[in-house]
Amino acid sequence: MRQQFSYSKKVLKHFRNPHNLGKIKDADGVGEVGNLSCGDVMKLYLKVKDDVILDVKFQTYGCAAAIATSSITTDLVKGKTIDEALAMTNKEVIESLDGLPPIKIHCSLLSVDALNEAIYDYLNKNNKKIPEFLEKKHQRSVTLEKMEGHGA
């Protein structure tokens, strides 16, 4: 039996007309995450100058909630410092979309995880200090990829 749930108007708006959709060819940081159980895959690209996110784009393969959370995440972090972006939570993503059905909460986690991975990539490429909590998140992400068969 198919489960019924409804999306907020904001979720539907971001799904139908996603903001910052696409790829940054010369990105300073790229993060890719996925969820094997639902099939969602998110890739997030950052353009950074003086530790400020100047541009951010995403490519997402997934449901309406996955696309909407990716879209709103890019809106929320554009113009923010790396530290401000690292402080963002999935709760902020959910609230910015006026809520998500409980079964779709994992989509907001994926968008924040993709952002964190892109920031990790940026910091790593530029030999900048990686906060301990971000290193732990990255290691957990790499471990999950290997367990799911995506890693090297």
The rounded radius of gyration (Å) of the Cα atoms in the chain is: 15
Which three-class secondary structure state does DSSP give residue 96? helix
- Phi, psi dihedral angles at 34 (to 5 degrees): -155, 165
**C-alpha separations of 95 from 10, 68, 72 in Å:** 10, 12, 10
Q: Which residue numbers are catalytic? A: 38, 107
Q: Are 72 and 53 in contact (CB under 8 A)?
A: no
